[in-house]
Chains A and B, each alone.
Chain A
Amino acid sequence: MTEIDLGLSLLDHQLIDSEDLRCGKVDDLDLGSLREDPPTVQAILAGTPAWRNRGRIGRLAASLGGGRIVRIPWEDVESVESAVHLKKAAHELGLARGEDRVRRFVAWIPGAK
């Protein structure tokens, strides 16, 4: 049991999946309804459109990028250290799409595998 500041210690931190691969950043957090007592973190949001609320530059960046927001329910979080470690693999959570799209192009270069 630890006290943390969400903006400082969770937001913008690295996501690492169950296979120890980096798979995105904590782009935002869903706090659910603030009427709950206490409100709790419902999910981690990752993906380009989640930058929309991150200031003017974030909005601009989000409008330039495509993609979707991936919602990672807090139940799937294994631990919070410097990075946020997840209980499942990136592709199960839908976090592997960006890498997958590019992987095809890299794979045909000799020596890539």
Chain B
Amino acid sequence: MRRLPGLCVALLLVIAGCGGSSTLTGDALQKQDEAVHSAAAEGELLASDVARDRTTEPFARVHSGDLADQAKAVAKRVRDADAAPGLERERRQVLTRATRVAQALEELHAAPDDREVAERVQAELRRLAA
């Protein structure tokens, strides 16, 4: 029976983790950062194909829009939350990166058949994904 309190705490932590608490721990921040990276890296692949005219206009437009939404969702989550003590600087970094990735992808979304825009976006996203 001694284990019961421990179990309860573990359970509560799990529930809290699922419920999306408004305080970002280091781990949670790391997760959000990985999501931004993922959107940027995928956007880079897409932009590179647009720049070389290896895709279709609808696909480039719709998919860049979806990726921009992913980055925007991260930005919103990070903006609305407080960072755990000592993590405020990291929180801002993630927020800035997410916002920039979203902007770059929005640019591609707005001009999905412009090869020059695509080249610029690709370079920007490569930098942001690094």
* A contacts B directly (C-beta below 8 A): no
Residues of B at under 8 Å CB distance from A?
none
Residues of A at under 8 Å CB distance from B?
none
